[in-house]
């Protein structure tokens, strides 16, 4: 499995890499701009990512903007929805109500926060 970890916090990047590296190669990006560039280059090299784990709030380009840009790259490249890269959005936010509508649509699945764990 080829994974892209997109996180601006060093400790969080390290934890994610430690968890995911036994399952395959892990690349790192520190903001959304780097994530979009890494995604585009991987696709051009015919070695696309299987999974992207991306923080929502980052400097320069945040995770929400990056996800929308990645989905647009997929759309313009003719990637079918069932073949889109799987994305896990990471957040310390306590409520999905704080996510913008574009990210909810681009995520394709329910948004979950680690702070909501254990809450009904």
Q: Which tokens go with 56?
A: 């929502």
| One pLDDT digit (tens) per residue for the chain, 120 residues | 999 999 999 999 999 999 999 999 999 999 999 999 999 999 999 999 999 999 998 999 999 999 999 999 999 999 998 899 999 988 776 655 555 555 545 555 444 444 444 444
Q: Which of 87, 84, 85 is nearest to 110 (CA)?
A: 87
CA distance 105 to 32: 18
CB-based contacts of 49, cutoff 8 Å, min separation 6: 2, 3, 4, 27, 38, 39, 42, 85
* Confidence at residue 98, expressed as pLDDT on a 0 to 100 scale: 56
CA distance 43 to 61: 20
CA distance 68 to 75: 10
* Confidence at residue 95, expressed as pLDDT on a 0 to 100 scale: 57
**pTM score above 0.85:** no
Residue 7 in contact with residue 16, Cβ under 8 Å?
A: yes
């Amino acid at each position: 499995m080829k994974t892209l970890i997109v996180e601006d916090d060093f400790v969080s990047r390290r934890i994610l890499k430690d968890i995911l590296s036994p399952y395959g190669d892990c690349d790192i990006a520190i903001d959304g701009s780097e994530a979009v560039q890494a995604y585009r280059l991987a696709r051009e090299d015919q070695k696309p990512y299987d999974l992207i784990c991306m923080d929502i709030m980052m400097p320069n380009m945040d995770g929400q903007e990056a996800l929308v840009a990645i989905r647009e790259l997929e759309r313009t490249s003719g990637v079918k929805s069932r073949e889109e890269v799987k994305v896990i959005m990471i957040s310390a936010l306590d409520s999905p109500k704080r996510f913008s509508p574009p990210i909810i649509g681009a995520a394709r699945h329910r948004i979950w926060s680690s702070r909501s764990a254990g809450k009904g």
